[in-house]
Amino acid sequence: MSLIPFRTKRSSGMESGSLATLADFRNEMNRLFEGFFSRPLQASPWFEPNEPGRWLPAVDMSENDTQIHVRAELPGIDPKDVDVSVSEDRLLICGEKKSEKEASGEGWSHRESHYGSFSRAIPLPETVDPGNVTARYDKGVLTVDLKKSPASASRKVPVLTGGK
């Protein structure tokens, strides 16, 4: 008669593996719930669509040696309703997208786009000259060109060799 171990190495290994998976799952759920309760509901991505007044336009940014270019998707917004302000290291784009057609009482409706006010502060990679900014709105896209301040322009620094 041979002794059959009650718990094989493999089965115990599986168990610890599944326990680890469970722990990961528990941690993930804790993280989700912490995020859920620590933020206002409107800021949660689950509630983002169709919630008026809480949306952020998508932004692209590029730079070269002298300028920073920012582009934001703002479809359906009257340029008069867009406010662009610049500090040395931050670009603020805010405004309001007005609903083109309020859902009427009769008939069904289905809404996917965002309406209401928005405000987006975008940190700039380098300081800029707030007095040297141009903004243009075309086909639902806002383009902002900012000129870097001379102090932040990169300068070539010669590397001195040691010795006398």
Place of tokens 């008069």: 80
CB of 71 to another protein, least distance (A): 6
Q: Where on the phi/psi map is residue 93: left (φ > 0), alpha (ψ -120 to 50), or beta? A: beta
Sequence-ordered list of residues with C-beta below 8 angstroms from that of 149, at least 6 positions apart, any chain: 88, 126, 127, 128, 129
Nearer to another protein, 109 or 161 (CB): 109
Binding stretches for another protein (CB under 8 A): 58-64, 67-69, 71, 73-78, 100-101, 103-104, 106-114, 122, 125, 137, 139-141
Q: Which is nearer to another protein, 16 or 154 (CB)?
A: 154
The least CB distance from residue 96 to another protein, in Å, is: 13
Token duo for residue 146: 């900012």
Closest C-alpha among 92, 56, 98 to residue 77: 98
Beta carbon nearer to another protein, 13 or 125: 125
Nearer to another protein, 9 or 139 (CB): 139
Residue type, 29: M
Residue 61 beta carbon to another protein: minimum distance, rounded to whole angstroms: 4
* Closest distance to another protein from the beta carbon of 87 (Å): 17
How many Cα atoms within 13 Å fall on the side-chain side of residue 134?
4
